[in-house]
């Protein structure tokens, strides 16, 4: 019964992580631009998005709206573009950006503008499946940003006087578009974990690990870490050396890792609380400070137990909390 209660506590912590830090506070534009030049005109904004069409497609896919790529590319050259202002406190479902203006397009979700002043931006609409989608592009950074969506308004009432239809402005030929060429350098972040583990058959351990993260793509990575788990109190267990490997899945500010690890004590192999273990590890957390591709700090929770002792997790399993520093 105690083991089930502790698992419920762990699940509750995971649920809390999933609802915390859901909004991204943005107080400065231009630090991580999708487009490195200041956009002077509506025409230049259109040319910029058309010239970076492949990254626009990738960004819309990451934002969960891939179906809008083709209508956006088709309607953008003739879209009515307005100049508007957004005020502190305004929120946006998502925003494109590139880390330091380089590399692949990335997405921040649930963005809140927390600058001290309003910011100027271009605004245009795209229609798809009887819905009208509003997008904005700040000229200082070119970050395509989703504003909202609603039903397509009915067409205006016809006027009695016949008028010559306005000629559509064709998109600029490909040779006139400015190509943005970016090179993405591989980066393998260095990680440091510092935390606490509790074993119910009583023992308390520090958790100190260092390692590296090897990204496979924007979502999945492999993490390898080594370190120690010195015992700080309790009548059972012993100091341990740890070597852990995680398959890590990340989204927005959150991550979830499933891994295996060695828990090596050098103790008596005949005693369950002292023997060397080959552990199953569950690890989950959320970034609480810093940016995704720079130095940042995350809070995590972790549970681990020997594969041979899954039924005795309420005695020999270890679970706890910690901070992960990513360099």
User: What pLDDT is recorded for position 12?
Assistant: 52
Global confidence as pTM = 0.53
Do 205 and 231 form a contact (C-beta atoms < 8 A)?
yes
Burial class (CB in 10 A: 0-12, 13-18, 19+), 319: buried
pLDDT above 90: percentage of residues in the chain? 66
- Which among 182, 172, 210, 11 is positioned nearest to 104, based on CA atoms? 182
Average of per-residue pLDDT across 240-252: 93
Reported as a single tens digit per residue, the pLDDT across 287-318 is 998 877 778 999 999 999 998 888 888 888 99
User: What pLDDT is recorded for position 292?
Assistant: 77
Give dist(CA 135, CA 89) in Å, integer.
17
Reported as a single tens digit per residue, the pLDDT across 112-125 is 999 999 999 999 99
Do 300 and 285 form a contact (C-beta atoms < 8 A)?
yes
Could you give all domains of the chain from N- to C-terminal order, each with its CATH number? 2-22+189-326 (2.40.160.20), 31-176 (no CATH)
- Which among 274, 215, 211 is positioned nearest to 250, based on CA atoms? 215
Query: Residue 317's Cα: distance from chain center in Å?
Result: 30
Provide the pLDDT confidence category of residue 176 given band limits of 50, 70 and 90.
very low
Give the burial string for 22-60 (b: 16+ CB within 10 Å, else e): eebebeebeebbbbeeebeebebbbbbbbbbeebbbbbb
Give dist(CA 205, CA 209) in Å, integer.
13
User: What pLDDT is recorded for position 87?
Assistant: 96
């Amino acid at each position: 019964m105690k083991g089930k209660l502790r698992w419920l506590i762990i699940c509750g912590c995971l649920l809390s992580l999933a609802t915390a830090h859901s909004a991204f506070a943005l107080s400065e534009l231009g630090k991580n631009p999708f487009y490195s030049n200041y956009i002077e005109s509506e025409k230049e904004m259109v040319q910029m998005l058309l010239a970076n069409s492949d990254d626009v497609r990738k960004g819309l896919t990451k934002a969960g709206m891939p179906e809008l790529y083709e209508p956006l590319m088709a309607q953008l050259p003739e879209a009515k573009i307005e100049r508007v202002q957004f005020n502190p406190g305004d929120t946006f479902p998502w925003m494109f950006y590139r880390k330091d203006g380089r590399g692949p397009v990335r997405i921040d979700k649930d963005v809140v503008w927390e600058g001290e002043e309003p910011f100027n931006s271009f605004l245009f609409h795209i229609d798809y499946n009887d819905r009208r989608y509003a997008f904005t592009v700040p000229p200082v950074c070119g970050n395509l940003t989703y504003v909202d969506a609603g039903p397509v308004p009915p067409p205006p009432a016809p006027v009695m006087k016949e008028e010559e239809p306005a000629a559509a402005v064709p998109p600029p030929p490909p040779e006139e578009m400015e190509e943005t060429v970016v090179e993405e350098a591989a980066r393998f972040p260095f990680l440091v974990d510092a935390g606490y583990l509790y074993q119910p058959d009583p023992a308390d351990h520090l958790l100190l690990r260092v390692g590296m993260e090897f990204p496979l793509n924007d979502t999945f990575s492999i993490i390898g870490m080594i370190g120690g788990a010195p015992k700080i109190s309790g009548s059972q267990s012993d100091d341990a050396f740890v070597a852990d490997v995680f398959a890590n899945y990340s989204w927005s500010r959150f991550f979830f890792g499933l891994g295996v690890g060695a828990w090596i004590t050098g103790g008596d192999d005949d005693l369950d609380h002292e023997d060397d273990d080959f552990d199953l590890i569950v690890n989950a957390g959320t970034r609480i400070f810093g940016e995704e591709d720079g130095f940042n700090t995350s809070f995590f929770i972790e549970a681990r137990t020997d594969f041979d002792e899954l039924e005795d997790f309420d005695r020999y399993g270890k679970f706890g909390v910690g901070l992960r520093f990513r360099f």
